[in-house]
Amino acid sequence: MTGGVRVHEATLTLDLAYRIGEIDPRLFGSFVEHMGRCVYEGIFEPGHPRADDRGFRADVAELVRELGVPVLRYPGGNFVSGYRWEDGIGRVDRRPTQLDLAWRSLEPNRVGVDEFVPWCRAVGSEPMMAVNLGTRGVDAARSLVEYCNVERGTTWSDLRRHNGTADPHGIRLWCLGNEMDGPWQIGHKPADEYGRLASSAGRAMRRVDPSIELVVCGSSHPRMPTFGDWERTVLAETYDVVDYVSLHSYYEQRGGDRASFLACAMELDDFIEAVVATCDHARAVGRHRKRIDLSLDEWNVWYQQRFVGEEQLEISTAPHLIEDTYSVTDAVVVGNLMISMLRHADRVKIGCLAQLVNVIAPIRTDTGGAAWRQTIFHPFALTSRYGRGTALQPVLAGPVTDTAGFGRTPLVDAAATLDEEGGTVSVFVVNRDQADPVALSIDLRGLPAAVVGEHTAVFDEDSDAVNTAAAPERVRPRRLADVPVRDGTVQVRLPPTAWNMIRIRPLGRGLAAARRGDEVGR
Ligand code: AHR
């Protein structure tokens, strides 16, 4: 207790020699689906005062750049399992309006691959394209690779050139369908059937462009009855041809149990570790040399209890679907989920925050009006900007509590990264306690000459506070007082229900130590 306030105590020990692995920048990706108002009235709104000459909103593009998403998955999601990509190419006035059965929406096809990919690259992202293995198959998949990646001289590549895109799109990363384990998926199949189709499609796509990387569908969430068996069966069919297996995971507060919600990164830890184990089991059984890594290509907080369900939707164009408004608590959870991803950066190489705009998204727009940052934007953007380089293995000791969801649960969770070039260590840490602050002591034994820690946090006196069009800056990161390094230790106070980033700049011997650590790590 200090002055009547209970203060928890925690310690975090950092040593630059303790390394998890290199962080693939694609860990910080996002997802654009033809769903609700993500594309139409989200990234694309011709007639908006800030629309460019192709109809894309410049204000939204600026926020996407600020968010920092090196990869963008497209065009779905459940949408892709009924999509004919050919409907989205050629003259816009001749493109058909199609009924999208996934979200019971009218798809005008005004945005297709030739519009999306240049926009995606203009906002600093690499496209991650999904093919339809629900209603379609090998032929449509390999034709799309040909359309996108072959330079010229074939039917599909020449059609792309005829449509106005002279250079190939050069799409490297491809998803073999979406959530094919889910009975809700159009064209859902048993694991062995999907595995054989994914294998045939992947092999044909590779014949068109041997340089592509392939992601095969894993489980839609860890509570799927087929989880584990699905991955085992699918990998038995596809191990040689694919590079990554996907996992999807969404979280929400249930039954008023905020303590468990705040700790849900523990569930993601378990999910990731179970998928890694399944991949490595398949590797051993199949006597494979290569290792399959993970693509967490849909994750976020999503209040699914608030969604009426696809069957209840009236058919319309760009409906307001699952436009969740996020609180400070949700932002802390999103920051904590990113801590879990960094902790597994040796195996999780791709991550896609689902989705990018309006649909369970960090960016919201009003049609014809403003675009603003939701609370979750902030921990995401800061982790994406500073959580690069090498993931370190911090050793954390601190208070625990009992939660209904997870039993004994740490109140503090953290990840750390080393940016070799700048010689800067970034510590990402959450305080999950809703009432009390934490006095965190960071022992910088590997950074003896570190000088200063810069402390930024997302928290609020009201942990339910949100950003809206009327108050878009209500919640934003707060730069707290710098924390000096004394005797190799930094003392930081973490507010209750808070996501924090402490950036420690080493000087002189600190940098030398960083380099020595590099040698140890090799
Ligand atoms: O992101 C929303 C939906 O969630 C996606 O379309 C689907 O893949 C997942 O179930």
210: CA distance to ligand 1 center in Å? Answer: 29
Q: Whose CA is nearest to atom 2 of ligand 1?
A: 77
pLDDT grade for 510, boundaries at 50, 70 and 90: very low
How far apart (Å, rounded) are the C-alpha atoms in residues 248 and 183?
Answer: 15
246: CA distance to ligand 1 center in Å? Answer: 13
Q: What is the pLDDT of residue 506?
A: 66
Assign 3-class secondary structure to 232-270.
Answer: HHHHHHHCCCCCEEEEEEEECCCCCCHHHHHCCHHHHHH
Q: What is the pLDDT of residue 482?
A: 86
HSE-up (13 A, CA, CB side) for residue 451: 7
Task: Flag whether pLDDT at 509 surpasses 50.
Answer: no
What are 469-479's pLDDT values in tens digits? Answer: 999 999 999 99
Structure tokens at 515: 């380099």
Q: What is the pLDDT of residue 157?
A: 98
Q: What is the pLDDT of residue 483?
A: 86
Cα 398–chain centre separation: 28
Please report, rounded to a whole number, the percentage of residues in the chain having pLDDT higher than 70.
95
Task: Flag whether pLDDT at 452 surpasses 80.
Answer: no
What are 357-406's pLDDT values in tens digits? Answer: 999 999 999 999 999 999 999 999 999 999 999 999 999 999 999 999 99
Q: Is 193 a catalytic residue?
A: no
Taking residues 441-463, what's their average pLDDT?
Answer: 85
Q: What is the pLDDT of residue 451?
A: 66
Q: What is the pLDDT of residue 450?
A: 62
- pTM of structure: 0.95
Q: What is the pLDDT of residue 470?
A: 97
pLDDT grade for 439, boundaries at 50, 70 and 90: very high
Q: Is 86 a catalytic residue?
A: no
Q: Which residue, among 5, 29, 21, has the nearest Cα to 354 in the 3D structure? A: 29
What are 289-321's pLDDT values in tens digits? Answer: 999 999 999 999 999 988 888 888 889 999 999
33 lines ligand 1 (CB under 6 A): yes
Question: Which atom of ligand 1 lies nearest, measured to the CA of 178?
Answer: 8
485 lines ligand 1 (CB under 6 A): no
Q: Whose CA is nearest to atom 5 of ligand 1?
A: 77
Task: Flag whether pLDDT at 507 surpasses 70.
Answer: no
Residue from 101, 104, 248 to probe ligand 1 pocket by mutation (most atoms less than 8 Å from CB): 248
Low-confidence winner among 71-80, 220-229, 418-427 (lowest mean pLDDT): 418-427
36 lines ligand 1 (CB under 6 A): no
pLDDT grade for 5, boundaries at 50, 70 and 90: confident
> Does 308 or 273 have the greater pLDDT score?
273
